[in-house]
Amino acid sequence: MKVVKFGGSSLSSGEQLKKVFEIVVSDPERKVVVVSAPGKRSSDDIKVTDLLISCAERVIEGKDPGILIEAVAERYRSIANEAGIQGDIAAKIKENLLDLLSQSNKDPERLMEAVKASGEDQNARLVAEYFQSRGVNAAYINPGKAGLIVSDEPGNAQVLPESYNQLMSLREHEGIIIFPGFFGYSADGNIVTFSRSGSDITGSILANGLKADVYENFTDVDAVYAVNPGIVEKPEEIRELTYREMRELSYAGFSVFHDEALMPAFRAGIPVHVKNTNNPASPGTRIVSQRLNKNGPVVGIAADKGFCSIYVSKYLMNREIGFGRRLLQILEEFQISYEHLPSGIDDISVILRQDQLSPSIEKEILERIQSELGADEVKIMYDLSLIMVVGEGMRCNIGTMARASRALARAGVNIEMINQGSSEVSMMFGVNETDERKAVKAIYEEFFISIKV
């Protein structure tokens, strides 16, 4: 049995809806379909969810959301018409939305949650109706009824463990289930939305709860690429990726997934299959717990900007028990999290995301390090980029570092910092932001284009 999730772009129009239908019915294993709200039809289009947020905002501000409500209804109407669904479903949707918005006596936050969630909810009803109109046994299922219970943290709901067993009973359900993504219900019946990529989270939770054989995640790219296509043209597609590799890549700003969204599936050991709604024939990318190490030691390369390094030096530091701990203590008091701690004998650097620092906080921190730790020198270096080279094959492959660093040298990139030795599936290079693209290109060419050594 497969849980299948479709993103907003896969459901942005009637044409897309037809594709979704064909995909689902082409495989009897596809029993559970998780849907997002209709996304953009073109780059200058507006997502239904964004229209809904504006609606709610206006109501909360006491303004008339008239035109916006029309715009929402219109989106659904055009989808319904294109898909050839009988009856004025858009009218029903509009009615429901007006009904929702009229409860403006509600706590504004609750109102916002309910209105946001309605995008997925209405769309699931529409999709179910369309499937039925095509003569298929399909039904909308409400997350609350299905037992998807979450913590009451608006915009950041966490699934509660009991949900999994409750969702299991969906397996008994006859026909195809159309399930709205992005939200669940709190113990006392409030609608609460997940964080970003909320529909991915819903699909992931269902895959776990229903013990699916695979979680298919349909989006609008053929596969996860080995490197950002914005940096390298037509990069290699990754056929298979482990959870660990996925996580290390998404850490460094690799965009495909917000990796935590997939955790419920990962925890249950369920493979995630990324496929393209617009090209279902393409093999896509499978994210699994283990893979055979094909195609070289490196599977992907990611990079992320906006890091800085606080350099601290003090003679005989390495003799001073507690120095590092006291340094981290100071940062902790400012609620600052760090990424790495390369250290020499008499010096240590703390690499962290620089958006955590303001001029005043920086000043305070540097002063405290100077005075409390008696440092000989404290300085800060901004605008570093961390480049993550990821692959399960790396650990046991002698020479990977040599190849990567040689590639950087050839490209004339100076390595500010290397972090290798803890993670078994990645190595990280710190370079100046200005060198990032050059560096990523060079490493990609070394491992994906030049003949493998």
Minimal distance, residue 45 CB to a second copy, in Å: 34
| Total residues at interface with a second copy (CB under 8 A) | 56
Of 86, 355, 359, 398, the one binding a second copy (CB under 8 A) is: 398
**Residue 90 to residue 284: CA distance in whole angstroms:** 34
Name every residue whose Cβ is closer than 8 Å to that of residue 198 and which is 6 or more positions away in sequence. 181, 182, 183, 261
Using DSSP's 3-state secondary structure scheme, residue 240 falls into strand
Q: Which is nearer to a second copy, 154 or 324 (CB)?
A: 324
Window 61 to 120, contacts with a second copy (CB under 8 A): none
Q: Which is nearer to a second copy, 230 or 412 (CB)?
A: 412
Name every residue whose Cβ is closer than 8 Å to that of residue 425 and which is 6 or more positions away in sequence. 242, 244, 245, 248, 390, 391, 392, 394, 395
Stretch that binds a second copy, among 56-64, 223-231, 299-307, 391-399 (CB under 8 A): 391-399
Q: Which is nearer to a second copy, 280 or 342 (CB)?
A: 342
Q: Which is nearer to a second copy, 19 or 368 (CB)?
A: 368
Minimal distance, residue 329 CB to a second copy, in Å: 6
Q: Is 430 in the site for a second copy (CB under 8 A)?
A: yes
Q: Is 405 in the site for a second copy (CB under 8 A)?
A: yes
**Residue 220 to residue 8: CA distance in whole angstroms:** 9
Minimal distance, residue 230 CB to a second copy, in Å: 23
Of 399, 449, 450, 452, the one binding a second copy (CB under 8 A) is: 399
Q: Is 8 annotated as a binding residue?
A: yes
Stretch that binds a second copy, among 53-61, 208-216, 229-237, 404-412 (CB under 8 A): 404-412
**Phi-psi domain of 178 (left: phi exceeds 0; alpha: psi -120 through 50; beta: other):** beta
Minimal distance, residue 365 CB to a second copy, in Å: 14
Stretch that binds a second copy, among 1-9, 50-58, 161-169, 406-414 (CB under 8 A): 406-414
Contact criterion met (CB below 8 Å) for 97 and 49? no
Window 311 to 370, contacts with a second copy (CB under 8 A): 311, 316, 318-322, 324-325, 328-329, 332, 335-349
**Residue 326 to residue 372: CA distance in whole angstroms:** 9
Window 251 to 290, contacts with a second copy (CB under 8 A): 251, 260
Of 376, 412, 434, 452, the one binding a second copy (CB under 8 A) is: 412
Q: Is 7 annotated as a binding residue?
A: yes
Full DSSP string of 18-44 = HHHHHHHHT-TTEEEEEE-----SSTT
**Residue 413 to residue 248: CA distance in whole angstroms:** 22
List C-alpha distances in Å: 271 to 171, 177, 285, 335: 19, 20, 10, 36
241 beta partners: 287
Window 237 to 256, contacts with a second copy (CB under 8 A): 247-248, 251
Of 418, 432, 437, 438, the one binding a second copy (CB under 8 A) is: 418
Contact criterion met (CB below 8 Å) for 96 and 31? no
DSSP 150: B
Full DSSP string of 377-401 = EEEEEEEEEEEEEE-GGGTT-TTHH
Q: Is 406 in the site for a second copy (CB under 8 A)?
A: yes
**Residue 69 to residue 280: CA distance in whole angstroms:** 34
Minimal distance, residue 294 CB to a second copy, in Å: 21
Q: Which is nearer to a second copy, 136 or 328 (CB)?
A: 328
**Residue 329 to residue 347: CA distance in whole angstroms:** 17
Q: Is 220 annotated as a binding residue?
A: yes
Minimal distance, residue 208 CB to a second copy, in Å: 15
The b-or-e profile of 210-220 (16+ CB within 10 A means b, else e) is: bebebbbbbbe
DSSP 415: -
Indicate the helix (H) or strand (E) that contains 268. Answer: none
Minimal distance, residue 213 CB to a second copy, in Å: 24
Q: Is 27 annotated as a binding residue?
A: no
**Phi, psi values for residue 431, rounded to 5°:** -135, 170
First to last CA, the chain: 42
Contact criterion met (CB below 8 Å) for 408 and 429? yes
Q: Which is nearer to a second copy, 133 or 356 (CB)?
A: 356
Q: Is 219 annotated as a binding residue?
A: yes
Q: Is 225 annotated as a binding residue?
A: yes
Q: Which is nearer to a second copy, 22 or 376 (CB)?
A: 376
Residue ranges for the binding site?
Answer: 5-8, 49, 120, 219-220, 225
Residues lying near a second copy in the complex (CB under 8 A) are found at 247-248, 251, 260, 309, 311, 316, 318-322, 324-325, 328-329, 332, 335-349, 396, 398-399, 401-402, 405-406, 408-409, 412-423, 426-427, 430
Residue ranges for the binding site for ATP?
Answer: 5-8, 219-220, 225
Residue ranges for the binding site for substrate?
Answer: 49, 120
